[in-house]
Amino acid sequence: MTAGPPQTVVIVGAGLTGLATALFLAERGHHSITLVDLVSGTEGYNSNAHDPVPIILGRHRETLRLLRLIQPPTASEASSLFLEFRLADGRTISYHPPRLPGSWQWIMGLLRFRGLAWRERWTLLSYLEQLWEGARSLPPDLDNHTADQWLESIGQSPMSRKQIWSPLSRWLTGNHLERLSASVFVHQLAEIFLQNARDVFLSSLHGSIGDRFLTPLRQALERKGIVPLRCAERPLLRVGPSGIEAIRLPDGRRIQARWYIIALSHRELLALLPEQLLARYAYFARLVDLEPLPEATVEFRHRVISPCPRLVLLADNLFHRVVLTPTAPGEMTCRLSVTVPPSLEELPDDRLLQAARDELQQLYPHDPPRGTLTGTVHRNQQAALSLHGGVTLRRPLQQSPLPNLLLAGPWTDTGWPANIESALVSARRCADIVDRQSTR
Ligand SMILES: Cc1cc2nc3c(=O)[nH]c(=O)nc-3n(C[C@H](O)[C@H](O)[C@H](O)COP(=O)(O)OP(=O)(O)OC[C@H]3O[C@@H](n4cnc5c(N)ncnc54)[C@H](O)[C@@H]3O)c2cc1C
């Protein structure tokens, strides 16, 4: 197979997904790329440049691959850490699988994990062994059950569902155990915990999303002559009988290309799509059913001498997670994620801030973080994607029914919840589709 001619590509949306798609294409020799971004486009899954980089799992292969591609060797600071659980009785227990080959790592990791009662560890282990040996199989209608129902059916007590499984599900998927599809949860657990020991390793990158992802991506693209075009209003898609014909910018310019890749949130995409596509294709109509989930976090930045990142999942009712990450030399960011009530607005900021300070006091009873600056509360209506039963079938594949239109974004069908890894997997798949067509 020989490399074909470079393809012309328009990418709408220059957040993490759009920038990564452009870089993956440029790396394969497709330099004729136009990136179109909205100046005030804050709607979406929002790669907020100032946010700390989320904790990265060894299984986040696409994320680690991108970091290797864009980071100068001098910026490789990262610290490893363990997954910790703070139980209702105040004890903190870490999940610490040994570096053993194959299934030994999770067998020993589970046996040693004191967050679950002995009996529950044995029940879970024997259940997994039976699955492994083919002596039993997962229920065929797993997607019709919630993760909570499934855990109950395999002998996990209400206490361990509250203390361990519920905050784990929130961290891994952004979803409540009571609403999350059992099938999605099982898939995530198997992907992360039941493969290689290194998949479960956690690393915390120093710096913000801007420092580690967005700025190096923009710089790498700039070196290849690709600079996003910024518009004050939404561009428009022009659809013809055989696909997208052009994109029209607010200043009246038309841009034509062989490929159009939309790297926006599903809500923004719906606002961009002509009605005729929604009416004609179930693929697009189904996007209406994708439901974003909100998140509120309380953030403190404080000074430290030696940064020590932590990820603690909480059995608490108000917060389900505390993450401490180094964001600048001598500075840590501490983020507490709120277990969201029906409406985010129900919790006033001052109550959240006080509760967060109390929580930190409990985490560090003898040595609370010093030099704590003023805390801030962040509320975001689209922080995750609801992964209830049936949603997997509604997440679209990257190739749309229009042959020259591709969709990228953490909410597309990637096998991951709507996180950075998912965004990058979708970007890679779009680049693969364009590349495959050019080599035909
Ligand atoms: C509060 C919150 C917490 C999160 N926590 C985690 C986490 O812990 N771990 C994790 O892995 N992931 C997390 N994520 C998800 C992660 O941030 C996203 O997967 C990632 O940022 C998605 O990037 P994106 O480029 O698809 O979207 P965005 O960053 O939203 O980018 C979209 C881009 O499109 C532009 N735009 C918008 N509308 C238009 C338009 N009509 N025309 C042209 N351009 C347009 C915008 O200006 C923007 O540049 C979190 C997200 C949020 C919001």
Could you tell me which of 306, 301, 275, 300 has the C-alpha nearest to residue 288?
A: 275
Residues 363 and 299 in one domain: yes
Question: What is the CATH classification number for the domain harbouring 349?
Answer: 3.30.9
What's the rounded mean pLDDT across residues 6-21? 93
Q: How far apart are CA 206 and CA 325, in angstroms?
A: 7
What's the rounded mean pLDDT across residues 73-102? 86
- Judge if the beta carbon of residue 423 lies within 6 A of ligand 1: yes
Q: How far apart are CA 440 and CA 436, in angstroms?
A: 7
Residues 286 and 397 in one domain: yes
Domain count, the chain: 3
| For ligand 1, mutation pick of 173, 175, 264, 322 (most atoms within 8 Å of CB) | 264
**Atom 28 of ligand 1, residue of closest alpha carbon:** 46
Q: Is 305 exposed, middle or buried (0-12, 13-18, 19+ CB in 10 A)?
A: exposed
Which of 142, 164, 196 lies at the terminal end of a domain, its last residue? 196
Instruction: Say if residue 199's pLDDT is above 90.
Output: yes
Strand, helix or coil at 219? helix
Confirm whether 83 is domain-assigned.
Answer: no
Ranked by mean pLDDT, which of 193-197, 261-265, 373-377 comes out on top?
261-265
Report the residue count for the chain: 440
Residues 367 and 408 in one domain: no
Q: What is the pLDDT of residues 329-353, one digit of tens each?
A: 888 889 999 886 555 567 788 888 9
Instruction: Say if residue 42's pLDDT is above 60.
Output: no
In this structure, of 9-13, 119-123, 369-373, 414-418, the range with the lowest mean pLDDT score is 369-373
**pLDDT class of 306 with cuts at 50, 70, 90:** low
Residues 233 and 275 in one domain: yes
Confirm whether 61 is domain-assigned.
Answer: no
- Judge if the beta carbon of residue 44 lies within 6 A of ligand 1: yes
Residues 178 and 107 in one domain: yes
Instruction: Say if residue 381's pLDDT is above 70.
Output: yes
What's the rounded mean pLDDT across residues 129-136? 85
- Judge if the beta carbon of residue 45 lies within 6 A of ligand 1: yes
Q: How far apart are CA 265 and CA 382, in angstroms?
A: 9
Output the CA 65–ligand 1 centroid distance in Å.
Answer: 19
Q: What is the pLDDT of residue 186?
A: 96
- Judge if the beta carbon of residue 12 lies within 6 A of ligand 1: yes
How many percent of the chain have pLDDT more than 70?
Answer: 91
Q: What is the pLDDT of residue 4?
A: 58
Residues 242 and 363 in one domain: no
**Atom 21 of ligand 1, residue of closest alpha carbon:** 47
Could you tell me which of 18, 54, 57, 61 has the C-alpha nearest to residue 36?
A: 18
In this structure, of 61-75, 92-106, 356-370, 409-423, the range with the lowest mean pLDDT score is 356-370
Residues 277 and 231 in one domain: yes
Residues 381 and 396 in one domain: no
Output the CA 3–ligand 1 centroid distance in Å.
Answer: 32
Output the CA 53–ligand 1 centroid distance in Å.
Answer: 13
Question: What is the CATH classification number for the domain harbouring 116?
Answer: 1.10.405
- Judge if the beta carbon of residue 295 lies within 6 A of ligand 1: yes
**pLDDT class of 1 with cuts at 50, 70, 90:** very low
- Judge if the beta carbon of residue 214 lies within 6 A of ligand 1: no
Who wins on pLDDT, 365 or 153? Answer: 153
Q: How far apart are CA 171 and CA 34, in angstroms?
A: 35
| For ligand 1, mutation pick of 233, 325, 420, 421 (most atoms within 8 Å of CB) | 420
Confirm whether 2 is domain-assigned.
Answer: no
**Atom 52 of ligand 1, residue of closest alpha carbon:** 383
Confirm whether 190 is domain-assigned.
Answer: yes
| 260 DSSP β-pair partners | 10, 405
Which of 156, 174, 196 lies at the terminal end of a domain, its last residue? 196
Parent domain of 150: 99-196
- Judge if the beta carbon of residue 18 lies within 6 A of ligand 1: yes
Q: How far apart are CA 75 and CA 276, in angstroms?
A: 48
Output the CA 121–ligand 1 centroid distance in Å.
Answer: 38
Mean of pLDDT over the chain:
89
* Six-digit token string for 160: 């361990």
- Judge if the beta carbon of residue 173 lies within 6 A of ligand 1: no
Instruction: Say if residue 218's pLDDT is above 60.
Output: yes
Confirm whether 273 is domain-assigned.
Answer: yes
Q: Do 363 and 321 contact (CB within 8 A), yes or no?
A: no
Confirm whether 426 is domain-assigned.
Answer: yes
CA angle 303, 307, 311 (to 5 degrees): 110
Q: How far is residue 24 from each of residues 69, 266, 403, 420, measured CA to CA in Å? A: 10, 22, 20, 15
Residues 50 and 30 in one domain: yes
Output the CA 411–ligand 1 centroid distance in Å.
Answer: 10
Residues 232 and 246 in one domain: yes
Question: What is the CATH classification number for the domain harbouring 279?
Answer: 3.50.50.60
Output the CA 16–ligand 1 centroid distance in Å.
Answer: 7
* Six-digit token string for 296: 């509120």
Output the CA 265–ligand 1 centroid distance in Å.
Answer: 7
**Atom 35 of ligand 1, residue of closest alpha carbon:** 13
Q: What is the pLDDT of residue 49?
A: 85
Q: How far apart are CA 94 and CA 124, in angstroms?
A: 18
Confirm whether 89 is domain-assigned.
Answer: no
Q: What is the pLDDT of residues 47-66, one digit of tens each?
A: 688 888 999 999 999 999 99
What's the rounded mean pLDDT across residues 219-229? 95
Q: Is 329 exposed, middle or buried (0-12, 13-18, 19+ CB in 10 A)?
A: exposed
What's the rounded mean pLDDT across residues 240-247? 92
Output the CA 58–ligand 1 centroid distance in Å.
Answer: 22
Output the CA 238–ligand 1 centroid distance in Å.
Answer: 25
Confirm whether 379 is domain-assigned.
Answer: yes
Q: What is the pLDDT of residue 238?
A: 93
Output the CA 46–ligand 1 centroid distance in Å.
Answer: 3
Instruction: Say if residue 87's pLDDT is above 90.
Output: yes
**pLDDT class of 76 with cuts at 50, 70, 90:** low
Residues 359 and 281 in one domain: no
Cα Rg of the chain, angstroms: 23
What's the rounded mean pLDDT across residues 408-432? 97
**Atom 12 of ligand 1, residue of closest alpha carbon:** 419
Determine the atom of ligand 1 nearest the C-alpha atom of 272.
41
Q: Do 266 and 259 contact (CB within 8 A), yes or no?
A: no
Q: What is the pLDDT of residue 344?
A: 55
Which of 137, 169, 196 lies at the terminal end of a domain, its last residue? 196
**pLDDT class of 317 with cuts at 50, 70, 90:** confident
Residues 25 and 49 in one domain: yes
